[in-house]
Amino acid sequence: DAKTTQPNSMESNEEEPVHLPCNHSTISGTDYIHWYRQLPSQGPEYVIHGLTSNVNNRMASLAIAEDRKSSTLILHRATLRDAAVYYCITKTSYDKVIFGPGTSLSVIP
């Protein structure tokens, strides 16, 4: 059911940038792209979202392709606390948010 595809897992060295890709080729024009992450034994937490333009916040940056069929979540300096499952979702106007399996990010000290 998920409308996005992500790699199952990725690894990063601590303090290096991480680029987490997401494909959403069937996205509609009004759907936002959201990223959430889930730390072990916790509920998902919001990371960032965008519609067309690239977005930055204190947690991450979101780069959205011009055709909006893909996006990349950028963690500028990975820390051990960034080890989590990262979910890329496209949010419909009816809030039927469908989560895929996400990308499990491991951070190596």
Partner 1 sequence: DTAVSQTPKYLVTQMGNDKSIKCEQNLGHDTMYWYKQDSKKFLKIMFSYNNKELIINETVPNRFSPKSPDKAHLNLHINSLELGDSAVYFCASSPTGARHSGNTIYFGEGSWLTVV
For residue 83, the SS3 value is coil
Closest to partner 1 by CB, 1 vs 109, is 1
- Cα separation of 108 and 28, whole Å? 37
Beta bridge partners, 22, equal 71
Q: Is residue 11 within the footprint of partner 1 (CB under 8 A)?
A: no
CB of 32 to partner 1, least distance (A): 5
Classify residue 67 by burial, with Cβ atoms within 10 Å: 0-12, 13-18, 19+. exposed
Task: Out of 13, 14, 46, 106, name the contact with partner 1 by CB under 8 A.
Answer: 46
Instruction: Please report where in the chains the tokens 């990371």 appear, as a residue.
Output: 47
CB of 98 to partner 1, least distance (A): 7
- Which one of 13-21, 59-67, 68-76, 87-95 is the stretch in contact with partner 1 (CB under 8 A)? 87-95
- In the complex, which residues of this chain contact partner 1 (CB under 8 A)? 30-32, 34, 36, 41-46, 49, 51, 85, 87, 91-99, 101-102
